Each structure stands twice: as C-alpha cells, then as structure tokens.
A and B are shown apart, each in its own frame.
Chain A
Amino acid sequence: DIVLTQSPATLSLSPGERANLSCRTSQTISSSYFAWYQQKPGQPPRLLMYGAFNRATGIPDRFSGSGSRTDFTLTINSLEPEDCAVYFCQQYGFSPYTFGQGTKVEI
C-alpha cells in the first residue's frame, strides 16, 4: 500500500499568514490522482484540490496545490479564521486508495 505522510501534525498561525502543508508518498504517484481535503469538526471532508493543483468548485483562490512524484504541498495564502480545520491528502491512483494522517491548522 502507498503510505502518505503529512507534516507538520499541527500548524499554529495567525490570520493573514501563509500555511504550507506537506504530504509525502512512499512511492511515485501521478499528480493526476492526488487530492487534498478539508475537514471541520462534525462535518464530512470537503474536496479542496484534485489532480494536485486543480481547485474544486467553490474553493477560494487562496488555496493552491503543487508538487509531483512523491512530494506535494497545499498552500493557504492569507489565512482566515474559517480555515481552522484538519487537512488530509489522498492518492487515488493505486488501490487501495490511501489518505495521510492529517494536519491540523490552528489560527
């Protein structure tokens, strides 16, 4: 199985700052099958990015994705209080599809 390792586990920042969330995969994957999700307490995950750098419908442009092969990054520019959440990365190119363990963003 492909293991996804996210860092840091927790990120504490102030409003207006930039957040960089990292996700490393245990083997090379196609960026076409890589996604980021945001999950707030008591809610299901919400798709943020698919294909590594494509924003899902309705996602603000302060969210951006980058990376390739084994290293991927989610950047949140100009953090807002509503961005407080846990962020998960996922690969959906190889079965079993796998998720990272999550990065908690505190603001």
Chain B
Amino acid sequence: QGQLVQSGAEVKKPGASVKVSCKASGYTFTNYGIDWVRQAPGQGLEWMGWISTYKGDTKVAQKLQGRVTMTRDTSTDTAYLEVRSLRPDDTAVYYCARDAEGFDPWGQGTLVTVSS
C-alpha cells in the first residue's frame, strides 16, 4: 500500500525557485525510488526524473538538467524537488510517485504557478 502527501500550491515569479515536498507513509521509504512527473494545464505527463531513496542517486531528464535538484531525507521519509530559474512554462501540477512496478501510488499533486 502506501501513501504520498505533497506540499501545498505555490505561486512564484519568473526567475524564482520552488521546492516541493513529498512525504511517504505506509511502507519502507528506502525500498523504492521516487519519480517526479509534471503536467502543464490541459496537457500530458512529463517525466522529470528519479531519485533513489536508499542512496540518493538521481536521474534527471536532459531538458531539465541544471535547473532541477532532487533530494531526500530518510529521517522524515520525505523526498524533495527543487526547480530553479522558473519560467512561465514551468506552470504545472507537479506529482511525486513511488517507483515500484509502474508508478504507484502518486501524490495528490502540487500546483506551481509561475507568473509576474
């Protein structure tokens, strides 16, 4: 089973940074990686990257490298996604998901709005 609960909605100005949290419960956090996926309004799903909750290794989608950092805190079973130098086209719902066989479960999503 398991559950992922994300932090609340954010409104940021272009050029700012945002950090989204994803707290896991109901399973052993370090047994599964966490993926981050975003969905722009009315659009499809874009995989952003993955973090090993055990070692902290990451894989980040090439188009986001240099702007995205994924971390985790095993003392609180929480994963974090930081996006820097935000642009209006970063406006999206950001999801975390447990990397099991497929992505399951998903967090409820965090809306990040980038607007001046």
Bound-state Cα–Cα, A99 to B45, Å: 6
Asked whether A44 lies within 8 Å of B109 as measured between CB atoms, the reply is yes
Residues of B within 8 A of A96 (CB): 47, 61-62
Contact partners of A49 in chain B: CB under 8 A: 102
Among the interface residues A37, A44, A88, A96, which one has the most CB atoms of the partner chain B within 10 A?
A: A44
Collect the chain B residues with CB atoms within 8 Å of residue A51's CB: 101-102
- The residue in B101, B102, B109 that gathers the most chain A C-beta atoms within 10 A of its C-beta is B102
Q: How many A-B residue pairs have CB under 8 A?
A: 55
B interface, by DSSP: helix, strand, loop or mixed? strand
B41-81: contact bitstring with A at CB < 8 Å (1 yes, 0 no)? Answer: 00011110010000000010110000000000000000000
Do B103 and A47 touch across chains, with their CB atoms under 8 A apart? Answer: yes
A46 contact set on B, CB distance < 8 A:
104, 106
Binding site for B on A (CB under 8 A): 35, 37, 44-47, 49-51, 54, 56, 88, 90, 92, 95-102
Q: Point out the residue from A35, A54, A101 that lies within 8 Å of B44, measured CB to CB.
A: A101
B101 touches A50 (CB 8 A): yes
Contact A44 to B106, CB < 8 A, known contacts A88-B45, A99-B44, A101-B44:
yes
The answer on a CB contact under 8 Å between A47 and B109 is no
Scan B85-116; emit 1 where CB is below 8 A from any A CB, else 0.
00000000001010101111111110000000
Judging by beta carbons under 8 Å apart, are B47 and A98 in contact? Answer: yes
Please give, as numbers and ranges, the residues of chain A lying within 8 Å of B37 by CB-CB distance: 45
Residue contact B103 to A45, C-beta cutoff 8 Å: yes
Chain B hits for A101, CB < 8 A: 44
Given the complex, which residues of B lie within 8 Å of A100, measured CB to CB? 44
Q: Which residues of B contact A88 (CB under 8 A)?
A: 44-45
